Amino acid sequence: EENSEPSVSEAFPKENLSGSPLALSRARQLISFYTMSQNPNMKHLQINHSVQLPPLWVRCEPSDPKKTIWLGAELLRSGNNLSGIRLHTITCNGPVSGNNSIGLKELKENHRMRHHASDLTIAGFARYEFLESTSLDSLTQEDSLIPLERNIYADFAWEGVKKMLQAPPPSSSALLTLQMASGCLLSSVYEPNRELQFLLSLAETLKNGVIKWPKALGRKSAVELVQKLLKDLKDEVDGLKSPNEDDTEDNTAAVIGSMKTLFSQRGDLDFLELLWCNIWRNVALHEELVECFSLVIRALQHGELQTWIHQESNSLLSKLIKQSYHGKMETVSLDGDSPVQMLLEIGVDKMKRDYISYFVGKEFAIRTHLDYFMSTSVDLQEQVHRIQKLHHMLEIVDNCLDLIKLEHENLIFLTQSCINYYKENPLNEKHPFQLPVKTSLVKEFYQNAHPQIWRVEISSGQGPKRVKTIWQLSSTPPAEHEPANGDSLDDTEICGNKQKHFITLSECSQVDFI
């Protein structure tokens, strides 16, 4: 038995896989018991009708000729009194191929005859997927495949359907739904994700105490790059080299390597951020990291490193640099996991600024809206978690900018939706973010495409007497009775290419309690 409420957003009940579908005869029996138990005329049953039962939906084995997959019943009320019951039958034929769909005229006539209706309302719905889920090699889990949910689809709704499989007219309302997991090679922000993964590996090292360095992405020694960075800065101070002289290609390559074109290179990187860029891609051993920080600390102690850092920097190394301005520095141990902690701190500071610079620089948000993500009042692990949230926001917004070319006002709205969600919720890369858009903005994406779902809803009557007939063509079944192929739909003239799809029909009838 399946007792499941109908979905608010869909035309058919939500699937509930906690039990097996029933034989149609048993399903009809349950619907009959439900109906009889709620009939106020069945007084001998002594049932308390003041308690309103939810609708009953029973999932069926599609073994009958019509392939019935659901039977449903919902009570109708007039004030506080039960006035009747609405019975639903949902059938699904598929997977099928070929041009065997019913015509709109026939659907309307069937509805008129069933419900003795004259005034009909005909509404259309279509869903187009712009980006589908895929599986790619994970850079953080070698030799394994992980599913990456990357879905962008648009739902269109309109009144006055003219023909079956009609494309959404310009008057349609359009709603984008976005699910964007991090780590896809095709993502516009794939490089920042690699940097984030390194940051997460440092945080994990501090949590479990096991130092395991990921494979270095760079080809040069981290120690040599840090030595060169320190020498270049000292030469600038000594006047042996102009700060604008363009011969620091190693540093430039390190910075560009940590970002991709759309995630533009910041022009205000301080010493610690340059240090991070040189280390994170190239360090391969804990001993290398210790040597890198030893070089920096010795340079500070000997007055050979005179550099600026961002005022809001919150790391131990930034504290040492500020102390060096006054010629006094505390002693720092590089034993144990202290170097990992120091590297994580400068990485957290740097990546926060990267993301904030993106959202503020593109005018998708103002700085105060992002204070939650910049806060240093929480521990370092929570700061890392909030950086993950920032990256997921970046995945969604920048990929929409890159793939769909959304207007600026839409991207502002989307960014604010992400901010509001992540201020209250933990990281959830499967969360669907929704964005109302003008149909004209996404017209080019569906003009030459086929929908994954196309639906027409014919209705008549008012209020509790309103009845519907729903016909749907989809690339997946509305219930888990058949394997889904996940393809899009061809129009009626192209269906001869044996494209598989599912035809679902929902009809209802009303019974008054006499």
SS3 content of the chain, % helix, strand, coil (to 5): 40, 20, 40
Does position 374 have pLDDT exceeding 90, yes or no? yes
Instruction: Domain ranges for the chain, please list them.
Output: 18-110+461-481+495-513, 189-240+257-428
Where does the pLDDT of residue 498 fall: very low under 50, low under 70, confident under 90, or very high at 90 and above?
low
**Six-digit token pair at 453?**
């779902």
* Res 211: pLDDT: 73
DSSP string of 59-101, one letter each residue: EB---STT-EEEEEEEEEEETTEEEEEEEEEEEEEEEE-SS-P
Residues 355-373 have a mean pLDDT of 95
* Residue 420 burial (CB count, 10 A): 11
* Residue 451 burial (CB count, 10 A): 25
Asked whether the whole model's pTM tops 0.85, one would answer no
Residues 121-144 have a mean pLDDT of 64
pLDDT in tens, 427-445: 999 999 999 999 998 888 7
* Res 491: pLDDT: 46
Q: Give yes or no for a contact between 184 and 190, defined as CB atoms under 8 angstroms apart.
A: yes
* Res 261: pLDDT: 42
Selected from 1.10.290.10, 1.20.58.730, 3.40.640.10, 1.20.140.10, the CATH number assigned to the domain covering 189-240+257-428 reads 1.20.58.730
Which stretch of DSSP H or E encloses residue 155? strand 150-159
Cα(406)–Cα(212) distance, integer angstroms: 41
Does position 338 have pLDDT exceeding 80, yes or no? yes
Distances from the Cα of 134 to the Cαs of 148, 150, 181, in angstroms?
6, 7, 10
- Report the mean per-residue pLDDT for the chain: 84
pLDDT in tens, 388-439: 999 999 999 998 888 888 899 999 999 999 999 999 999 999 999 999 999 9
Does position 124 have pLDDT exceeding 80, yes or no? yes
* Res 497: pLDDT: 46
Those residues whose C-beta lies under 8 Å from the C-beta of residue 506, and which sit 6 or more positions away, are: 11, 12, 88, 89, 90, 468, 469, 470, 471, 472
Cα(369)–Cα(509) distance, integer angstroms: 52
From 206, 196, 129, select the one nearest 476 (Cα to Cα): 129
Where does the pLDDT of residue 259 fall: very low under 50, low under 70, confident under 90, or very high at 90 and above?
very low
* Residue 102, CA atoms < 13 Å, CB-side half-sphere: 18
Residues 265-269 have a mean pLDDT of 81
Cα(472)–Cα(34) distance, integer angstroms: 28
Helix or strand or coil: residue 274? helix
Cα(92)–Cα(474) distance, integer angstroms: 10
